[in-house]
Amino acid sequence: MKECPICLKDFDNINICITDCNHEFCSICLNKWLDRNRLDCPKCRKNIKYFNLNENTTRIIEINPVITNQNDNQNNNLMVELNQISSRIRDSQNLININVKLKKYLFVSLLVNITLLTSSSYLYMNDCEINFL
């Protein structure tokens, strides 16, 4: 009579998982084993690629932690680049605003100069007198 090598229960009335390395375990034990992130066969220590249970094949896919870390780094780099680009856009908008202010200032000062020359504005003249004194 066969039994599960982990819990030593008879295989008669329980679900039997057969790994690709041809080792048999009850489904409860193998699932507990896999739940602990163990991907190696409890008996021969080969990595389990798949196991059969009631004629259903379950494939085990390992997600490589190095690859996920690289993806994290790539995401971080992308975020840093995005932040740099958005700050550059903000900077350029500030530059445009400064230019507009500068142009406005130049225009106003030009107007003031014209009114000074033509003496058409009394207020400007007064300001000017104060400045001249």
User: How far, in Å, are 10, 14, 51, 81, 106 from residue 4 at the CA level?
Assistant: 7, 10, 15, 55, 90
From the list 6, 18, 112, 128, which residue makes contact with Zn ion (rule: CB under 5 A)? 6
Q: Are 123 and 111 a contacting pair, CB within 8 Å? A: no
By beta-carbon proximity to Zn ion, the closer residue of 23 and 115 is 23
Nearest distance in Å: CB 38, Zn ion: 12
Name the one residue in this structure whose structure tokens are 């048999």: 24
17 near Zn ion, judged by CB under 5 A: no
Which of residues 40, 44, 68, 70 is near Zn ion by CB under 5 A?
A: 44
Q: Which of 24, 43, 112, 115 binds Zn ion (CB under 5 A)?
A: 43
Give the number of other CB atoms < 10 A from CB of residue 116: 14
Give the full edge-to-edge strand order of the sheet including 56-59: 24-26, 16-19, 50-53, 56-59
- The CB-of-56 to Zn ion minimum distance in angstroms stands at 18
Residues in touch with Zn ion (CB under 5 A) = 4, 6-7, 21, 23, 26, 29, 41, 43-44
